Amino acid sequence: MKKLSVKIMLMILSFGLCAKDSPAMAIGGDVPKAVTAKFESRYPQAQLENWKTGKEGFTVVFKLRNKKYRAIYSGNGAWVRTEAKIKTAGDLPEAVRTALRKDKFDSWYVNRIVDVETAGGHTYYLYLDNLNTEDADLNAMKNTCLIVYDDNGQLMQERKL
């Protein structure tokens, strides 16, 4: 009897581990096969981290070529967009770097860059501030903003945060 209960426990544990790694499991429920099939077709070499369900549909976090990505798919499996952080402004496309150097924000500190790819191309979201400091007194004078460029370096949006 003891051996049987140990075998049953091992089976339950191994099932739980397999289910955790399954690309079809998401927080809040299963991901439809149409969605996972589209993801696997678009990113066959991706290393899956997790799926989540949300108001936009299904979000998958994965790694590809040692870089972390987040892709969003609609409920019917249509790819909506893929997002990735860019480490430095030097990693931006040349057209965007050139536009940034010519912009009024050229001396501002780049806090974060997000590359958003859609069917229309790439869009680059740059979060900037005019002071690179953690000093509480200087933070009161700090201005932050978001600027958005397209693939060609055209400024699409500028907004103070």
Is residue 17 situated within a structural domain? no
Domain boundary among 50, 84, 118: 84
Residue 64 φ then ψ, to 5°: -145, 125
**Residues 72, 59 within the same domain:** yes
Q: Mapping DSSP to helix (H, G, I), strand (E, B) and coil, where does residue 118 land?
A: strand
**Residues 48, 66 within the same domain:** yes
Parent domain of 31: 23-84
Contact 138, 124 (CB under 8 A): no
Query: Which tokens in the block code for residue 93?
Result: 């496309």
What is the per-residue pLDDT across 81-118, written as a single tens digit (0 to 9) for each? 999 999 999 999 999 999 999 988 888 889 999 999 99
What is the per-residue pLDDT across 2-31, written as a single tens digit (0 to 9) for each? 554 444 444 444 434 444 444 455 554 689
What total number of domains does the chain contain? 2
CA dihedral 98, 104, 105, 108 (to 10 degrees): 120
What is the CATH number for 105?
A: 3.10.450.360
